[in-house]
Amino acid sequence: MKKANSKKMLKKDEHLISIIYRPLTKRIASVLLKLGVTPNPVSHSIIITALIGGIFFSFGDYKSLVMGAIFSQLSLICDLLDGMIARARNAKTMFGRWYERITNKVMKYFLVLGASIGAYKTSGDPTILIIGAIAIFNITIISFISNMRLLFNFSKDYNELPRTKRFFIPFGMATTTMLTIAALFNKVSWFLWFFAIFGTLAWIKQIYSHYKMGNHIKIENK
């Protein structure tokens, strides 16, 4: 077995959240590499911790929200770690890349679903279930459109969220971070309303931006 190269843990094109979490994730990754941990078990743990976090969120009381926030952060850290370990072990595969994207989507689904159920339990207002469903749809469709751009050259490097030459803000991880903050301040319903309203505007804007970029490009018949 080849020795893992810890210098390869970090991407050249990093996102802002990975930079903030770097001191912690780099230490954890170094320990996991010494223990011989491979990327896939870490990817599995993303789903497991997100499911536990969603269950805690679904209870709705503040102590459960705090526990949900902790597990959502654990899920986020695991999401950062699997790529770091794969790079360090030079174990990047097409399945690994695909599975990493799937686990990221499942993570958000479990967490936001649990948050919606918990917000309904505490408020008793059935409207919040509709708002939660809209928020989940918006988060899902935004992620879907973002991933679809990788299949088309005209929009491959396009990103609605702010970015510089050095780093960018990933939508999925920003969503998890915002939910964590909302839970700690006991304002989960605000989070749901935000993504129900601005999430709708966001995916409409994504479609319009892709229309402007790709409408003038003709597809040649072969």
Is residue 36 left, alpha or beta, with left meaning phi > 0 and alpha meaning psi from -120 to 50? left
C-beta separation of 119 from 60 below 8 A: yes
pLDDT of 157 strictly over 80: no
Q: Tell me the per-residue pLDDT of 10-24, one tens digit each, with 9 for 90 and over.
A: 555 455 566 777 788
Alpha-carbon distances of 173 from 1, 105, 160, rounded to whole Å: 32, 10, 15
Instruction: Give the C-alpha separation, 10 to 220, whole Å.
Output: 40
pLDDT of 191 strictly over 70: yes
Strand spans (E) along the chain:
14-15, 167-168
Q: Which residues contact 149 (CB under 8 A, 6 or more apart)?
A: 155, 156, 158, 210
Question: How is residue 195 written in tokens?
Answer: 């993504």
Average confidence score pLDDT of the chain: 82
Name the superfamily (CATH) of residues 10-210. CDP-alcohol phosphotransferase transmembrane (TM) domain (1.20.120.1760)
Whole-number pLDDT of residue 134: 96
Q: Which residues contact 191 (CB under 8 A, 6 or more apart)?
A: 115, 135, 178, 179, 182
Q: How is the chain split into domains, by residue range?
A: 10-210
Q: Model pTM?
A: 0.83
Q: Tell me the per-residue pLDDT of 42-59, one tens digit each, with 9 for 90 and over.
A: 889 999 999 999 999 999
Whole-number pLDDT of residue 5: 53
Q: Tell me the per-residue pLDDT of 57-110, one tens digit each, with 9 for 90 and over.
A: 999 999 999 999 999 999 988 888 887 888 887 777 778 778 888 888 899 999
